[in-house]
Amino acid sequence: MKKITILFISFILIFSSLAKADEGMWFLAFLNKNYDQMKAMGLKLTPEDIYSINNSSLKDAVVALDHGSCTAEIVSDKGLLLTNHHCGYGEIQAHSTVEHDYLQDGFWAASFDEELPNPGKTVSFLIEMSDVSDQVLSQVNDKMSEQMRADMIEKAIQKIQAEAVAGTNYEAEVQEMFEGNAYYLFIYETFRDIRLVGAPPSSIGKYGGDTDNWMWPRHTGDFSIFRIYCAPDGSPADYSTDNVPYTPKKYLKVSIAGVNEGDFAMIMGYPGTTNRYLTSFEVEEVMNHENAIRYEVRTTKLDILKKYMDTDPEIKIQYAAKYAQSANYWKYSWGQNLGLENLGVVKRKQKFEKKLMKWVKKDKSRQEKYGEMLDIIENSVTKHTDADIAQNYWFEAIYLGSEIEQFALENFGFYRTLQSEDQNAIDSMKEIMKETGETYFKDYNSALDKELFVAMFKIYIAKVGEEFYPSIYDDIQADYDGSIERYADDLFSKSILTDEDRYFAFLENPTAEAFGSDFGFVYAFSVLQTYWGIMDAKDAEDKDYTKGRRLFVDAFMKMYAEKDPDHLYYPDANSTLRLTYGTVGGYTYEKTVYNYYTTVDEYMAKEDPKNDEFFVTDRMKKLYEKKDWGRYAYPDGTLRIDFLTNNDITGGNSGSPVLNGNGELIGLAFDGNWEGMSGDIAFETEYQKTICADIKYVLWVIDKYGEAQRLIDEMEIVE
């Protein structure tokens, strides 16, 4: 029996009393005993229908957007994709102007020729996955240093990846699982010509905005439509007018039978990150550093963005996607901390750690191997506290604050090319940087960014230790009497990174000397060096941290395996394809009963003309007055918008297909509820829910609101 198979049948929940069918992000290739439970709950498919290497299967209809930032599903034989509105928000915003505001008005391509290209957007198919644990770990042993172990593992991974895709256009990625106790190989095919086909207005696709984000009840038609294009021979290709719609191996049938409480529901997608193996020390660190700092910094950032967006329609469009992206995890951080506190997760982890150490101490060999694992983790967390705080403030206030740092990094390769004095390479890079500059400055406002720079830099200096100050701060002290505002005046009036005209004038006659001495570049390189220093300081205290984590997971695996060697468990999410299953249903929290679905009647009742988050268009009002729900109505005459399931999802699952027992599309997963915000660290089985857009509402919007009948005709809709 292979090592990974042993892991799968050995791992069980840290808190075994919480193990239920609705918890778990399972690999499609290893459903094992899950299948019997899924079948009893209503699954009509075989494991081969879900995952197959030799035949088309559901895995071939579910794709990763942009290498896992979201999920999408194919719903026609012409490569038509459904995903969330918020997953396509950046593209919708990029195509919007004051004259043609697709965010406000929506967009519906009337033909293939009107479908809009999106440079940089990708769709990846999983071709196959396999266990490579033995190959990766064959040359390592417990006597090695952590650095030597890491080097050996990396060498093995590079070899496996290269051999796996030799002679193909595929991509290979070996992923660590169970904190380095196992490794998997994933092979992907990635398509690079993805075009926007349709999107509802934000008054449907983003209804409720930040107020309703992470909340239930919800009334958001969170969907957008794209299409995969490929070369005429079916292979991936960059955008070209010669490309054709992609013919998939598999596409999903779309069910308009509707959903009812208790119905089986499974979700397939690419969940981003969970951290359910953290110790109590690490949970406290996440709460006190990562979440608290993110919430603090982004509160200031969002206030500045909103001030400018509220006063200028052009800026509102320019920064719409940036604002939404920042606001999403601003609220998440607040909600997760509340959830972890309410559940007493730190105390629960501490209780488990005492139990685990009691088991370790019962056996001398276990004591020798595992006796110091928790001390290693605790010592690392304690010793790197200052560096960890600085790292989080640097990421939020410097890297995600003013846009100077990220734009400078985008130009860094060009700077290196200029230093090489290779004129052919310089000319080639100039064209690339022109495109980069056009994209960047299209959605950039210097006055806004300047105010953001001052506020973010002040937060950073006020919150971190002096040992983590960037060298540029010495210049600010010496040359500007410590005034960040005066420094910003020069920075934003002189740098090529803060003004479109200066940037393109530089590109006409670029030199390494001019670039290297530019105000913005000097600043950006200074704070980048600071980041390297922070990470060096943190790494110095974390020499054996990975060892402690690996031993911790290995120890509780073995402890529980003694009692129940056949129990199934799953690795933390890491943007690889997973399946989760459960049922449709509502919940009760603090004596409030929450229904499992919402309706258009409730959507209309929520309207607030003075609040753009709850704005309803005149067209929607007219359609509501007619109440022409057509075949999309439920038997009670209502048009439902969203519904709940108890599936286990996280970020990256956005846009994932919600499937019935026949593998037919019944909804799109797009959010979680406030009461279950602890889920990435501790799954809450009683309250944690997945919020899904009902496919019947999605189709109604496409059909009746968007009048995009050609898209309805393209799908295979089943009653």
Reported as type and span, the H/E element at residue 328 is: helix 320-343
* Among 424, 440, 408, CA closest to 519: 408
Average the pLDDT over 576-583 and give the result.
Answer: 97
| Mean pLDDT across 655-684 | 96
Residue 6 pLDDT exceeds 50: no
> With 50 as the cut, is the pLDDT of residue 99 above it?
yes
What domain range includes position 28? 21-122+192-275+572-718
Residue 648 domain-assigned (yes or no):
yes
Residue 697 is assigned to a structural domain of this protein: yes
- Residue 454 token pair: 């001052």
For residue 19, pLDDT over 50 is answered with no
Number of domains composing the chain: 1
> Is the pLDDT assigned to residue 613 strictly greater than 80?
yes
Average pLDDT (643-648) is: 97
pLDDT value of position 8: 38
pLDDT at 175: 97
Residue 616 lies in a domain: yes
Q: Which of 22, 52, 86, 203 is catalytic?
A: 86
Mean pLDDT of the chain: 95
Predicted confidence band of residue 561 (pLDDT cuts 50, 70, 90) = confident
Is pLDDT above 70 for 4?
no
Q: Which pLDDT value is given to residue 72? A: 98
- Across the range 191-220, mean pLDDT stands at 98
Instruction: Tell me how many degrees the CA angle 227-228-234 measures, rounded to the nearest 5.
Output: 145
pLDDT at 329 over 70: yes
Q: Which of 60, 193, 212, 222 is catalytic?
A: 222
Is pLDDT of 568 > 90? no
Confirm whether 140 is domain-assigned.
Answer: no
Of 416-420, 524-528, 556-560, 570-574, the least confident: 556-560
User: What local confidence, expressed as pLDDT, does residue 292 receive?
Assistant: 98
**251 close to 241: Cβ distance less than 8 angstroms:** no
Residue 697 confidence (pLDDT) above 70 = yes
654 is catalytic: yes
The CATH number assigned to the domain holding 75 equals 2.40.10.120
Instruction: Identify whether 449 is part of a domain.
Output: no
pLDDT in the model for residue 563 = 84
Average pLDDT score over residue span 189-202? 98
* Mean pLDDT for the stretch of residues 273-295: 97
pLDDT recorded at residue 418: 95
User: Which residue of the set 52, 224, 333, 654 is catalytic?
Assistant: 654
pLDDT of 684: 87
Share of the chain above pLDDT 70, in %: 97
Interval 424-441: pLDDT, tens: 999 999 999 999 999 999
How many DSSP H helices and E strands does the chain contain?
30, 22
**Gyration radius of the chain's alpha carbons:** 26
Angstrom distance (rounded) from CA 229 to CA 237 = 8
- Compute the average pLDDT of residues 2-8: 39
Residue 692 forms part of a structural domain: yes
pLDDT of res. 261: 97
Q: Is the pLDDT reported for residue 15 higher than 60? A: no
Distance (Å, whole) CA 274 – CA 677: 12
Whether 404 is in a domain gets the answer no
Task: Indicate the pLDDT class of residue 507, thresholds 50, 70 and 90.
Answer: very high
pLDDT of 9 higher than 60:
no
- Is the confidence at residue 20, as pLDDT, over 80? no
The distance between the two most distant Cα atoms of the chain, rounded to a whole number of Å, is 76
- CA nearest neighbour of 60 among 287, 341, 249, 213: 249
Confidence check: pLDDT of 7 > 60: no
Least confident segment among 1-15, 273-287, 450-464 = 1-15
Does residue 237 lie within any of the structural domains?
yes
